[in-house]
Amino acid sequence: MSRYARIFLSSELPKLELGEGGAMEKQKKSAIVRFPVILWAVMAILLFAAPAFVAEQIDDPQDYLFVDTDNTPVDLNAEIYNGVYVYTGATLNLLSDAIVHYMDAYDGSFVNIYGGIADKSGIAVFNGSTVTVYGTGFIVNNGKIDPSGNFFTVDGIGTLQVTYADGTTISLLVFSSNVPIYLVDTSGGGPMEVQIDIKPGSDQNSINLKSKGVVPVAVLTTDDFDFDAATIDPATIEFAGAAPVRWKLTDVDDDGDDDMILHFRTQELDLDQDSTEATLTAHLLTQEIVFGTDEVRIVPSKKSKK
């Protein structure tokens, strides 16, 4: 996406002016200072003048938010009164309690929108960014949804209508140059991803496939994404092809809610020496399918060591 200047006036449609690559052509030696150059200079001043309130989770309102690779991923649960700027390599998750009025998703950034974009607010999607919207009832104006339903594109300015998991319906202004914006339907049309933790408390998740013991796996309750581990039907659970030998509800991650901890016989796992991750699948009591994946490190047994 080419660089462009933006002006936001109260209750007005944001104006989009496309530039020609940012820097003025060297062969044009004019005494006239172009408007986009002035605006970018003003934005640079704001960048240094406004504090960069960035943390792993943001719960307090701020004027501006600058998300960079030193502070990712960031979960946003607060209102940002002015602009949100997500830079190359950074990840921002907009949760249901967030309120964002304008956002830039720069080249190489990752933005996951579960809620939090205010109605008729704007997001500029640059080439190379990955923006994903989670919800239902997707309707695009001045844009095009791919026949697969997995993404849409806008050439210039368009709108996306979406209903979030909490029932809020908004119209999102999108500024883009045919960059795909991904859509994930949360209405139950496809498997829902949940968060699992193999061998809770272990960073490497080492598994010895020759062991005659068990591997613990936790399915975590996550309030931000409205998932309760207790809604899983234990009889339908499989982890790397194995059924659990026992399970119980307990607070695994010490966040005050019950997770589900399960144990699987190691020798029943469908893993090999080249495995780097393992997946758990299950049905909810409502018959919806869920899945979760975590990394594993396969280690050789003591007898195989030379």
HSE, CB side, 13 Å, CA atoms: give it for residue 215. Answer: 32
Report the distance separating Cα 5 and Cα 14, nearest Å: 10
> What average pLDDT does this structure show over 76-81?
93
> Tens digit of pLDDT for each residue in 123-140?
999 999 999 998 888 889
Whether 126 and 252 share a structural domain: no
Does 179 reside within a domain? yes
Whether 181 and 289 share a structural domain: no
Report the distance separating Cα 292 and Cα 194, nearest Å: 5
Whether 209 and 121 share a structural domain: no
Backbone angles phi, psi at 230, to 5 degrees: -70, -15
Which tokens belong to 71?
């502070």
Whether 110 and 75 share a structural domain: yes
Report the distance separating Cα 102 and Cα 6, nearest Å: 10
Does 21 reside within a domain? no
Whether 197 and 176 share a structural domain: no
> What average pLDDT does this structure show over 146-168?
87
Alpha-carbon distances, residue 87 vs 124, 126, 129, 219 (angstroms): 12, 10, 9, 32
Select from 230, 236, 231, 250 the least CA-distant residue to 281: 236
Does 16 reside within a domain? no
Which tokens belong to 91?
């990840």
Report the distance separating Cα 37 and Cα 23, nearest Å: 8
Does 19 reside within a domain? no
Whether 172 and 267 share a structural domain: no
Signed CA dihedral, 10, 14, 17, 23: sign only: positive
Does 176 reside within a domain? yes
> Tens digit of pLDDT for each residue in 194-247?
999 999 988 889 999 999 999 999 999 987 657 899 999 898 899 998 999 999
Whether the Cβ atoms of residue 178 and residue 155 lie closer than 8 Å to each other: yes
> What average pLDDT does this structure show over 149-164?
90
In this predicted structure, the answer to whether residue 35 has a pLDDT above a threshold of 50 is: no
Does 24 reside within a domain? no
Q: How confident is the model at residue 259 (pLDDT cuts 50, 70, 90)?
A: very high
- Among candidate residues 136, 161, 185, the one where a domain is terminated: 185
Whether 223 and 274 share a structural domain: yes
Whether 94 and 176 share a structural domain: yes
Pick the range with the lowest mean pLDDT from 9-18, 141-150, 155-164, 264-273.
9-18
- Among candidate residues 134, 154, 185, the one where a domain is terminated: 185
Report the distance separating Cα 67 and Cα 82, nearest Å: 14
pLDDT, position 78: 93
> Tens digit of pLDDT for each residue in 172-192?
999 999 999 998 888 765 567
Whether 179 and 211 share a structural domain: no
Sole residue written with tokens 């998932």: 227
Distance of CA 27 to the CA centre of its chain: 43
Does 18 reside within a domain? no
Alpha-carbon distances, residue 265 vs 202, 245, 279, 291, 302 (angstroms): 18, 7, 15, 19, 19
Which tokens belong to 79?
């209102």
Whether 68 and 172 share a structural domain: yes
Per-chain mean pLDDT for the chain: 80
**Number of domains within the chain:** 2
pLDDT, position 288: 66
Domain that holds residue 156: 51-185
Determine the residue type at 244: P
Strand 192-193 relative to strand 289-295: parallel, antiparallel, unpaired?
A: parallel
Report the distance separating Cα 133 and Cα 181, nearest Å: 8
Whether 210 and 98 share a structural domain: no
Does 9 reside within a domain? no
Alpha-carbon distances, residue 67 vs 40, 76, 137, 179, 180 (angstroms): 19, 11, 29, 21, 21
Whether 212 and 272 share a structural domain: yes
- Among candidate residues 185, 220, 250, the one where a domain is terminated: 185
CATH of the domain at 247: 2.60.40
